[in-house]
Amino acid sequence: CAIAIKGFAKCRVHDEHLMNTVANRLRERGVREDLEPTQLSDSLYGFAKFTCQDTALLDLLSIEARRCLHLMDVATLSQVVASLAKAGVSSQVLTNRAASLIKRADDSWLDEATLPQLQVLNMAFGKLQVSDGPLFEACAASYLRRSGLEAVTLPTASTELLVNVIHAFAKVHHFHADLFSAINSVLIDRFDEVSMTDLVKYLHAISKVEHLPPPPLQQRILERLESDKLNTLGVFDLLKVATAVRRLGIRVPSLESHVSVVLPHENDSSAVGGGLGPGRRLKRGPKKRRQSARKRKWTW
């Protein structure tokens, strides 16, 4: 069952009869208990790839995943958590146990995973909003420990993967200075490989953690935003870039002009750039406390 559904998912061939047949088989407790961790992971992958809406079945599979969590390696664990995140199933017990497993494990266990596998795992935790500082610290340390003997290290990884690493950390507003600095150094040397889509994602991510890139990288970003490649952005991406540079305090005249043309109502001195200066953070006023019901009844 697991091999069949993963094979169809990899080939992007949707077969409703196959999905229903596999789902009915997996509802049987004995069938689920006989699944190996990799088979369980493949089943979750297949259902998530086809955007399965059978929440009850996905919950049953997540419960089974919790029982064999200690038998999984990082690659299998990564696929399980990523599949649940893609399917929109939030299993807090599973994610908490998975986070505890990673934090307690030896460094060598986490380092066995490839960079793409580790990045997928981080992104899955980010999508599920697992805001666990020690978990992301452990993953950051693993990124930085990679030796030159590995096929893919930070300096040789694709710029898309590096941007996704920062994006995953930013999803839970976690900033790791050494990791971000190492990735910034690689992006400076290989900035020509960064696509506009990845640049939008990068700016949006670093603005969430209020991290100002080093001056050389800022200069390369300004040159890219001042070029005609800005015209390739859609309205949604343009808004994301405008919001990001405003938070970072980076002023981009061509971006302001482009926003004023595409979004006339955003033509405001505070809309693009001129916001936060380097190193500054947003200042929010005190949160107003809601009155109790006893006090509110006299103000009706």
Q: Which residues contact 167 (CB under 8 A, 6 or more apart)?
A: 123, 126, 201, 202, 204, 205
The model scores a pTM over 0.75: yes
Q: What is the pLDDT of residue 277?
A: 45
Q: What is the pLDDT of residue 234?
A: 83
Q: What is the pLDDT of residue 5?
A: 58
The mean pLDDT of 83-107, rounded to a whole number, is 88
Cα Rg, the chain, nearest whole Å: 23
Residue 276 predicted with pLDDT over 50: no
Higher confidence at residue 299 or residue 57?
57
Q: What is the pLDDT of residue 225?
A: 85
Q: Which residues contact 113 (CB under 8 A, 6 or more apart)?
A: 73, 74, 75, 78, 121, 142
Instruction: Give pLDDT tens digits for 154-186.
Output: 778 899 999 999 999 999 999 999 999 999 999
Instruction: Give pLDDT tens digits for 10-69.
Output: 556 666 666 777 777 777 888 777 788 888 888 888 777 777 677 888 888 888 888 888
C-alpha span between 128 and 260 (Å, rounded)? 36
Of residues 214, 124, 133, the one with CA closest to residue 176: 133
Q: Which residues contact 132 (CB under 8 A, 6 or more apart)?
A: 99, 103, 125, 172
Half-sphere exposure of 114 (CA within 13 A, CB side): 10
